[in-house]
Structure 1
Amino acid sequence: MLIITFLVLVAQVFSRTILDSPLTWSEQLARFLFVYVAYLAVSSEIKDDGHVRIDYFYNKFPRKVKVWLHYFFQTCISIVLLLIIYVGVIISIRRIPVEIVSLNISYVYMFMALPLLGTLMLYRLIEREVKRVKNNEGVE
């Protein structure tokens, strides 16, 4: 999807600068694809435990505090993801009648990224924690 986004933007620049006739649909399509690419990337990082934390301070805590902090933050992330899913459904339902004119499709397809990929992120978070418990991996 990222390559398609890049190609759409190259076509837009070429069309605008060389042909002097901008493509009316390219900006909206690039935005649409970028939203999905971004959420898929976040989902991938959640699966691989790639989210950011400041290890300098985290590593100074005793093991029990690290475990507590780990599960506290996983719970916070889960709550935020549930809110994203809930709000995403509400926004998507409101956007059903609104159309992206240049693409001739409903905005619901863009806003459905929130509940769809939010659900995928929540699944990946749970999957990673279940795997951690099954493999008896510690929190570090």
Structure 2
Amino acid sequence: MEKLLKSLNKVLFWISVSSMAVMLVLIFLQVITRYIFNHTFEWSEELARFLFVWVVFLGSALIMGEGGHLAVQLLPRKFAGTPLGHAMNLFINACSYAFILLLLIQGSKMTSVMTFQTAPGLGISMSWVYAVIPLSACLMMLYLIRDTVEIFRKMRSTEDPQDAAANADALSVSEPASKNDE
């Protein structure tokens, strides 16, 4: 599963990077053709805007997969490895599940509503533009499931903090001195 998610991260990264490059070229060409040749392509601004929407949502899923979303970690770090810390992380994930589920449901509704509306410059169905919302929600859900499973693994493997401290003391007493300590 982890290999699949790492491969997915690479795919999302390269889709985002290439979409940003295409956006940059489109906007640059639009400026050049408008101010130098006094001609505009109606579709270029629209395509750049639609690519931006896709980059934002796919990039959001990518960042979630890499654990890079902005978060306040004061309390979860203070209680890391404790039952309270695990409970906080599970609560944070439960809130994330609620938001992502809302994003998935509303994004799916919006995609289906926009099926018969076409983009004026490109002539494509607007559902192609909005399809990234439920797609990215599914990707985020996949990453969140992975993170939740990891929390449960940590909960299962976490020892009582007093036992862990006693084991650490026992190890430090029984270990021979290293050559660097001499």
TM-score, length basis structure 2: 0.68
Question: Which has the greater radius of gyration?
Answer: 2
Is 1:20 aligned to residue 38 of structure 2?
Answer: yes
The one-letter amino acid paired with 1:44 is L
Q: How does 1:11-50 map to 2 (within 5 A)?
A: 11-50=29-68
Partner of 1:10: 28
More helix by share: 2
> Which consecutive residues of structure 1, in runs of 5 or more, have no partner in the other structure?
none
Aligned equivalents of 1:12 and 1:20: distance in 2? 10
- Among 52, 60, 70, the residue aligned to 2:89: 70
CA distance, structure 2, for counterparts of residue 58 and residue 127 of structure 1: 18
> Which structure 2 segments of 5+ residues have no match?
1-18, 159-182
Measured in 2, the distance between the counterparts of 1:59 and 1:133 equals 17
Contact 2:89 2:151 in 1 (8 A): no
Query: 2:129 and 2:32 mapped to 1: Cα distance?
Result: 26
Aligned pairs for 1:79-118 (under 5 A) are: 79-118=98-137
Partner residue, 1:129: 148
> Higher relative contact order at CA 8 Å, sep ≥6: structure 1 or structure 2?
1
Instruction: Note the alpha carbon deviations across 1:14-61, whole angstroms, 9 max, x for none.
Output: 111111112211111011111111111111111111111223454344
CA distance in 2, matches of 1:128, 1:4: 33
TM-score for the superposition, normalised by structure 1: 0.87
Q: What is the rounded CA distance, in whole Å, between the counterparts of 2:47 and 2:88 in structure 1?
A: 40
Most deviating of 17-26 and 63-72 = 63-72
Percent identity, aligned pairs only, is: 25
Return closer, same or farther for 1:77/1:25 CA change in 2, 3 Å cut-off: same
Give CA deviations for 1:70-100 in whole Å, capped at 9, x if unaligned: 1101111111111111111111111111000
- Verify the 8 A CA contact 1:96 1:108 in the aligned structure 2: yes
Number of aligned residue pairs: give it.
138
| Distance (Å, rounded) in 2 between the aligned partners of 1:108 and 1:32 | 11
Instruction: Provide the aligned C-alpha RMSD in A.
Output: 2.1
Letter in structure 1 aligned against 2:93: Q
Cα distance in 2 between the residues matched to 1:55 and 1:94: 39
* C-alpha separation in 1, matches of 2:53 and 2:121: 17
Aligned residues of 2:114 and 2:126 also touching (Cα < 8 A): yes
CA distance in 2, matches of 1:57, 1:130: 21
Comparing 59-68 with 43-52, greater Cα deviation is found at: 59-68
